[in-house]
Chain A
Amino acid sequence: MKNKLRNVKKHYQLYLLLLPSALLLFCFAYLPMIGIVIAFQDYSPALGILGSKFVGFKNFMQYFKSYQFGVTIKNTLVLSLYSIVVGFPLPILLALMCNQMKTKMFKKVFQVITYLPHFISTMVMCGLILIFLSPSSGLFANLFNLFGAKFPNLMASATGFKHVYVWSDIWQHLGWDSIIYLAALAGIDPTYYEAATVDGASTLQKIRFIDIPMILPTAMVLLILRAGSILGIGFEKVFLLQNVQNIMSSEIISTYVYKMGMQSMQYSLSTAIGLFNTVVNVIVLLLVNLMSRKLTESSLF
């Protein structure tokens, strides 16, 4: 014990280096976790956390029984699963393609350009979507006009929302998301390819028998991470693209948490919904991780 204490004392400068970040984490990450108790209270700002009455799971029940429960869960899942189904395989395909491109210069230009949209802010991205999809004067409407077709008002339809959301995301992040796979592919021993060439393998066969098996572990880990945040789909873009006409398919859990909390001032209800969301996320992450460990022997932890 005394030894341990002396050891800590000897390293006090290391703790000094940790102090700023630890203090900030304590104040703005851990203290709010204590605040979660208001999910089980009938919280009123006047009474504070200590003075407010405990009501058990009342706030959770209120959410589960409400009409919005089914709607928000469904919309969150639809957007999330659609994003995974399209957004998970495409970067892999892109990386496989890019890796086999023979002209180095072209490859480089291609990469720089496809990474570019990643740096556009969500705000500007949503502005672009609204401008381009405008049914009267947008780029798409004008393009359709050239061919005498009429462009549907996607932003005003409940069915169009998910396609707009997912495919604009693909446009913005496809290139960037492929970087990690390209890195994995760059790590492949070139003698594999040389041997394959000697054995008469075609480009497609090299992709099939060398590239794909080599990036499978990376792909699994990324899939786990994505699946783990299945109910944690980003707030920003959905919130900005929401309007009265598409709200039936664009109200997701996080936007509902925001509205209940910051607009309706129902602090306890909002916190309860947020907590429910976090708990489900953690459970899904653990389950997928377990499944992956059993099936493919690659896992996060």
Chain B
Amino acid sequence: MVKKKRLTQDAVVNIVFHVIAVLMIIMVIYPLWFVIIASFSNPADVASGKVWLWPKTFDVRGYQKLFEQSQIWKSYLNTIIYTIVGTSVALVVNITAGYAMSRKDLPGRKWINIFYIIPMFVNGGLIPTYLIVKQFGLLDTFLVMVLPFSVSTYNIIVARTFFQNSLPESLWEAAQIDGCSTMRYFLQFAVPLSKAVIAVVGLWTAVGHWNSWFNALIYLQNEELIPLQLLLRRILIANESLLGAATGTMAQELRQLSDMMKYGSIVVSTLPIMMLYPFLQKYFNQGVMIGAVKG
């Protein structure tokens, strides 16, 4: 009797859980789907609420106009370069530090640890940092986007934890006896054996670079250097029309085109990450786990 009651209660709970889950899936997917269909729809249909599940009339003018803008291509290219170079720099800087700190025989390990951890909690703040970057002559340079802020203590800790847990100490001891130097051991053994952590740190940094705009806002003035996300700010937030000004009936059409370009620019800028994500999900999750073990 009791058992039966329990089983029906469990069945109800199970159904409720699945219903909630399905509702959540719809709540997440629908807005994303809507952006895609809206970007291919006639803007008047979208504005008047006639588009719900599929474009009523296909219209690709938004994309046409978007791709006619040279700024889009330029900023897109900038973002790609910042992402590739920035990620490479960050990998070199953080993985080397992570390895060195994983070694128990590092003299002064405790103090070095503190040196790396303090900036996680304390920083100079916006203006002092800005003034230093200016002192180094890095304002409005390519370098400012990839170098000064590439150190991430969090990623160093992730790498250190990985090296500590998955590189057996005996391997280093054996290599040492054979006369292998630290540098050579790092390059020939540690790096090849740590593809997983390199993937994790690399992916995190790459996504960060792709989505970042704050440093560009502060340190860049030059139009030629701005990344995609900062251009999106003009299109999406400042509501600036890249197509110029117009009056009368032209203005109406221009506004509609601008709306289409908003949807289009969201798709174009977000698609690369969204497409890659399901394949790389494994690594992203791993990053959270490795970091969580010893946060």
A residues near B, CB below 8 A? 4, 7-8, 11, 13-18, 20-22, 24-25, 27-36, 38, 45, 97-98, 100-103, 106, 109-110, 112-117, 119-124, 126-128, 130-132, 136-137, 139, 141-143, 145-146, 171, 175, 179-180, 183, 200, 202-204, 218, 221, 235-236, 240, 257-258, 261-262, 267, 270-271, 274-275, 278, 281-282, 285
Contact = CB atoms under 8 A, between A and B. Distances in A.
Contacts of A33: 122-124, 128
Interface string B225-248: 000010011011100000000000
A258 B129 CA distance: 12
B277 interface: yes
Interface in B119-172: 119, 121-133, 136, 147-151, 156
Contact of A116 (B17, B149, B237, B277): B277
Interface string B211-225: 111100010000000
Contact of B49 (A102, A146, A175): A146
A124 B115 CA distance: 36
B128 A32 contact: yes
A132 B211 CA distance: 21
A180 B292 contact: yes
Given A8-B108, A20-B93, A35-B129, 15 more contacts: A11-B106, A24-B151, A28-B129, A29-B119, A30-B119, A32-B132, A33-B122, A106-B18, A113-B29, A123-B232, A123-B236, A137-B47, A137-B48, A142-B49, A200-B6
11 contacts: A4-B107, A11-B105, A15-B100, A21-B97, A33-B122, A33-B128, A100-B14, A103-B18, A116-B28, A119-B277, A236-B214
Name the 10 nearest CB pairs between A and B, nearest first.
A32-B124, A35-B128, A127-B236, A142-B49, A121-B211, A274-B125, A137-B47, A13-B182, A29-B119, A32-B128
Nearest to B52: A142
Contacts of B21: 97-98, 101, 106, 110
B96 A119 contact: no
A114 B96 contact: no
A114 B28 contact: yes
B interface, how many residues as a size bin?
Answer: 35 or more
Chain B residues touching A, majority SS = helix
Residue picked from B31, B48, B151, most chain A C-beta under 10 Å: B151
A201 B295 CA distance: 34
A100 B183 CA distance: 48
Contact of B229 (A115, A121, A145): A121
Interface stretch (B54-62, B63-71, B281-289): B281-289
Given A110-B24, A117-B28, A130-B236, A123 B229 contact: yes
A44 B227 CA distance: 31
Contact of B151 (A25, A137, A146): A25
A271 B269 contact: no
B46 to A, nearest CB: 7
A28 B122 contact: no
Residue picked from B125, B126, B213, most chain A C-beta under 10 Å: B125
A14 B99 CA distance: 9
A35 B131 contact: yes
Given A124-B232, A183-B288, A200-B6, A261 B130 contact: yes
